Amino acid sequence: MQQPARLVRGMCFGIALTLGLGLGAAAQVHAFEEIEAKIDYRQGAMRAIGGNMASLAAVIVDGVEDYRDNLALHARFIVDMSRDIPGLFPEGTDFGETNALPAIWENWERYEQLSEDTHQAAVRLLEAIEAGEANLGPRFREVGQSCTACHDDFRHRD
């Protein structure tokens, strides 16, 4: 009589173990996909900043006057998006198809400082646009230099 009971207990344990392992693996896959999605979001946001910079350059550097009224729109996006750049780089998002260097997490304070520099440079550009300043080149260049300063140490070229 004891043998069937032991068998049932064994089967129950096996099923529980299988389910547990399966759920754990599923959770891990989910976590992995979530991190990948975060990297996708970051890369999309960075490309969007780049796209807005390209549009700003066409007007400010190359003098396409037709779109001068859109300058504030582009600059405001960069101001808003750069408000918390470190927030786009949570721990654990340093693998796979990313050019983010480990140096970001190793020198977090410097990374935060450079991100803040970009935000402040974008704020100054937006202020200059809203004040109707004619020569926006130096302000635009400041934003660009802040991007380069960060990419110089924290982005892999691939």
Partner 1 sequence: MDVFVQQIIKLHRWAAPLLLCLLMLWTTAAADSAADDDLVKRGEYTLRAAGCVSCHTAKEDDAPFLAGGRAIESPFGTFYGANITPDPETGIGEWKVDDLERALRHGRGPDGRHYYPAFPYTSYTRMKREDVEALWAYLQTVEPVRRENRPHELVWYARFRPGLRFWNVLHLRPGEFQPRESETDEWNRGAYLANAMAHCAECHTPRTRTGGLDPNRLFAGQRLPDGEVVPNITPDRETGIGRWSGRHIMRYLDMGMDPEGDFAGSSMADVINDGTSFLTAEDRRAIAVYLMSLEPIRHDPGNRD
Summarize as ranges the residues that interact with partner 1 (CB under 8 A). 47, 49-55, 57, 61-62, 141, 144-145, 147-158
Q: Which two tokens stand for residue 84?
A: 């918390």
Calpha distance 97→62 (Å, rounded): 34
Specify the residue, 38 or 151, whose C-beta has the smaller distance to partner 1: 151
Q: How far is the CB of 103 from partner 1 (least distance, A)?
A: 11
Neighbours of 37 (CB within 10 A): 10
Please state the residue numbers annotated as binding site for heme c. 147, 150-151
What is the residue whose two structure tokens read 């970009």? 118
Alpha-carbon dihedral sign for residues 145, 147, 151, 153: positive
In this structure, the number of other CB atoms found within 10 A of the CB of residue 140 comes to 22
Look at residue 46 and give its three-state secondary structure: helix
The minimum distance between CB 93 and partner 1, in angstroms, equals 18
Minimum CB distance to partner 1 smaller for 12 or for 145: 145
In Å, what is the CA distance from 3 to each residue of 6, 10, 13, 61?
5, 10, 15, 85
Beta strands in the chain (DSSP E): none
Q: How far is the CB of 95 from partner 1 (least distance, A)?
A: 15
Task: Please state the closest distance from residue 48 (CB atom) to partner 1, in A.
Answer: 9
Between 66 and 152, name the residue whose CB sits nearer to partner 1.
Answer: 152
Q: Which is nearer to partner 1, 6 or 157 (CB)?
A: 157
